[in-house]
Structure 1
Amino acid sequence: MSQKRFSPAAGPSQRQLRVGELIRRTLSDVLNRGEIHDPDLNAMPITVGEVSCSPDLKVCTVYVMPLMGSGPVEEAIKALARNKGELRRRVGAELTLKYAPDLRFRPDETFDRLDETRRLFSDPSVQRDIGADGAADEDEGGEG
């Protein structure tokens, strides 16, 4: 019988979440202190929003965004990709993992989704629906 090694529907394991958070903190510290000798990278403050790891912890996707729009996200990703080897070495030295994970940098779109959610909640039809649900809950709570 064959068994699947990874179940994509299950979500990340506790180990994946813990290692991802440790890598996020390590990268944030390295970038904050300016330990990488690249003037383009040190010129822009970069926020590391999230790190998601593959189940075998060999590949990590790092979601980044230049702080307060200090530069285009594409330039930040290019600068990080140029220094991927050095960043990977720093992560490997800091963590006690069997393998230093391969780092892949992607734009962090969390803030865009947050703005879209706010826009949806401010829509008058959504406000009307929320108000109707709140009135129904008060009626149910008052009986009894």
Structure 2
Amino acid sequence: MPRHHHKNSAGGGSQRQLRVGETVRHALAEILAHGNVHDPDLEGHIITVPEVKMSPDLKLATIYVMPLGGHDADVVIAALNRNKRFLRGEVAHRVNLKFAPEIRFRIDDRFDEAERIEKLLRTPAVQRDLAPDSDDE
């Protein structure tokens, strides 16, 4: 039976990569939400997991995280990396894959980019360009 690799138009990978990434994301979000990781640097932080990107062979999961409010991002990443082995094992128990993927953590900077765009849209020059022109009537 031939294998078909359908690429997502946004460049996010095959349907299988997207599906597995979403499954890993849910598993990790549940682990973090329930406080299963006992690390003093993670206590008191609510961590969102907006995206997980899987490599084509599904052996590497790049996990994008953001602590609520964006505070202590470097501390949170360091703590997650210290607990990487435990987290990989927990993900392996929850996600049915042939191999437990290696995991790496990255800060999700899409929030910062969105904020930067918002600020640009509020500048006087952009507001002037967006204002309806009364001369066109």
1:19 and 2:20 are equivalent in the alignment: yes
Q: Is residue 31–residue 42 contact of structure 1 (8 Å, CA) maintained in 2?
A: no
1:87 and 2:50 are equivalent in the alignment: no
Corresponding residue for 2:125?
A: 125
User: Partner amino acid for 1:115?
Assistant: E
Q: Secondary structure at the match of 1:105?
A: strand
User: Which structure 2 residues correspond to residues 133-144 of structure 1 after superposition, within 5 A?
Assistant: none
1:30-61 deviation digits (Å, cap 9, x = unpaired): 01101123232233221112111111111111
User: Which structure 2 residues correspond to residues 88-103 of structure 1 after superposition, within 5 A?
Assistant: 88-103=88-103
- TM-score, reference length from structure 1: 0.77
User: Partner amino acid for 1:68?
Assistant: G
User: Partner amino acid for 2:102?
Assistant: D
Corresponding residue for 1:109?
A: 109
Which structure has the greater CA radius of gyration? 1
Q: Secondary structure at the match of 2:19?
A: helix
Instruction: State the distance in 1 between where 2:86 and 2:44 align.
Output: 17
User: Which structure 2 residues correspond to residues 46-85 of structure 1 after superposition, within 5 A?
Assistant: 46-69=47-70, 71-85=71-85
Instruction: State the distance in 2 between where 1:75 and 1:21 align.
Output: 25
1:58-77 deviation digits (Å, cap 9, x = unpaired): 111111111124x4111101
The structure in which a higher percent of residues are helix is 1
User: Partner amino acid for 1:85?
Assistant: R
Residue ranges of structure 1 left out of the alignment (5+ in a row): 1-6, 140-144
Instruction: State the distance in 1 between where 2:28 and 2:96 align.
Output: 15
User: Partner amino acid for 2:111?
Assistant: F
Q: Give the share of equivalent positions with the same residue, in percent.
A: 49
User: Partner amino acid for 1:91?
Assistant: V
> How far has the Cα of 1:10 moved from its partner?
7.5
RMSD: 2.6
Corresponding residue for 1:4?
A: none
Count of aligned pairs: 129
Instruction: State the distance in 2 between where 1:13 and 1:128 align.
Output: 43
